[in-house]
Structure 1
Amino acid sequence: MTRAWESLLVNRPALESFYSPIPPLESITVRSMHLNRRGPTLTLRFDLPEFPHTPLPEWVAAGCDAFQGQLRFLAVADVVLRGWIPPVTASVLIEELENRRIRVGLRGAGTELAFTSSDSLTVGHLSAYRRSDDGGDRGPHHFVGRTDRFRWTTVPDVWEKTFYERV
């Protein structure tokens, strides 16, 4: 059975304050993927397919037109990755397995990512930004989380462990 990703979120209210309903993971832009052997975990940094229905006033004033976050999967196993050249526009399918496990599949534009994980997902490092002319996300970000707002004005480089290993 295919599950709606938002039903698996342990911190669903983080997105519900901006979306009603939370959009499906269809035609998302996956910007990066981080594998961490401790856990083991896999974290996707991605843009949701639509801007929030109820954006913060400062996002509107700054001309933001994209919303980004990270989605963390726990107890990851059976990882298969082919053709990874980010950013990738893809859709994510989640299939329920036994023992509170899920099978995750991501396909798009010559990329395939598949793995199994716990059915407990966490979203974090949420931010709004204005896409650059080339579709990039390197400009200023307006982070939702207090710590993120204090520490970051843009998305940090991929080796910044405090950003990519803690959601």
Structure 2
Amino acid sequence: MNCDNSRPSAGDRGFERQYIGTNQMILIPHRPDAHSTTSRDGRFGGGVSRVTDGRFGAALAGDPQGSGPVTIPGTAGHQGQRSITPMTWTAFVVNADFTAYYDAVPDLTGVRLRSVHLDGWDPTVTLRLDLPRFPDRWEGAPGDTVQCQIQFAMVRDFLMEGWQPPVTADVVLRALPEHRLAVEVVAPGVAVSFTANASVLAGKISVFTQDADGGDSGSRSFTRPLETRLHPTLPPAYVNTFYERV
């Protein structure tokens, strides 16, 4: 993993540090009123990054607001007891229909997590990942892997431990009260968790052929023709217009 601990470029002002590796980008927002920490050695391998300030999430760690799983009235779990209501991840997506490509949309189990992007201006986290199965229907250019970005807004209590790519992870979404989500990414040597608004955005759906080393730097075809013209290959990590928009 290569780490860039130099000062951010003009396009990345507002970030305390930028971590760039072969298949990942992590941006840590820096604000005068922020209370955030990063690993002291400048690496996420074995380190901890926590963002719990008012700008990147209003709740501090341990704050009860928005905590606890959801209970549906009229069910067995509604007798004064909270219980987790399982839902598929696409049930939270409000802007995309993955059934256009899949007969049965795969769970986010065993996905290759390519990047974790923290927006420097909004409390937003974007995960870029390869879905575990190729679409049943695809009309774009040929390939062997489908990739998309999943974006979470109004993020609170962000915590990340470890980053040793390549990362094959399980991404779990659980419903919380007050239209919130608990998001957890679990992989060997990596753990990411936070809460977010329950309206999730998904986009940048593309197909490509993996490199010999498993990378995703080759040509790709997006579901939107304009994106294919603008980004025939994966843009550099500093192109925020790509990584912060779905």
TM-score scaled by structure 1? 0.92
Could you tell me which residue of structure 2 aligns to residue 148 of structure 1?
A: 227
Task: Please list every run of at least 4 consecutive aligned residues from structure 1 whose deviation after the TM superposition is greater than 3 angstroms.
Answer: none
Q: Which amino acid aligns with 1:3?
A: M
Please name the residue that 1:16 is paired with: 99
How far off its partner does 1:57 sit? Answer: 5.6
Deviates more, 1:83-92 or 1:101-110: 83-92
Percent identity, aligned pairs only, is: 35
Letter in 2 for 1:119: A
Tell me how many residue pairs correspond in the alignment: 162
- 2:67 alignment partner in structure 1: none
Structure 1 residue ranges without an equivalent (≥5): none
Larger strand fraction of residues: 1
Asked which structure has the greater CA Rg, the reply is 2
Structure 2 residue 219 is the aligned partner of structure 1 residue 136: no
Bigger helix fraction: 1
CA deviation string 1:36-81 (max 9, x = no partner):
133310001100000001122632xxxx100001000010110010
Q: In the alignment, is residue 48 of structure 1 matched against residue 127 of structure 2?
A: no
Between the aligned partners of 1:125 and 1:87, the Cα distance in structure 2 is: 20
Distance in 2 of aligned mates of 1:35 and 1:87 = 19
Tell me the residue number matched to 1:105.
184
Structure 2 counterpart of 1:37, one-letter code: G
Give the structure 2 partner of residue 29 of structure 1. 112
Pairwise CA distance, 1:5: 0.6
Which sections of structure 2, spanning at least 5 residues, go unmatched?
A: 1-83
Matched residue SS, 1:147 = helix
Given that 2:141 and 2:207 are in contact with CA atoms closer than 8 Å, whether structure 1 keeps it comes out as no
Contact 1:36-1:42 at 8 Å conserved across structures = yes
Q: How big is the alpha-carbon RMSD for the aligned residues of Structure 1 and Structure 2?
A: 1.2
Tell me the equivalent position of 2:89.
Answer: 5
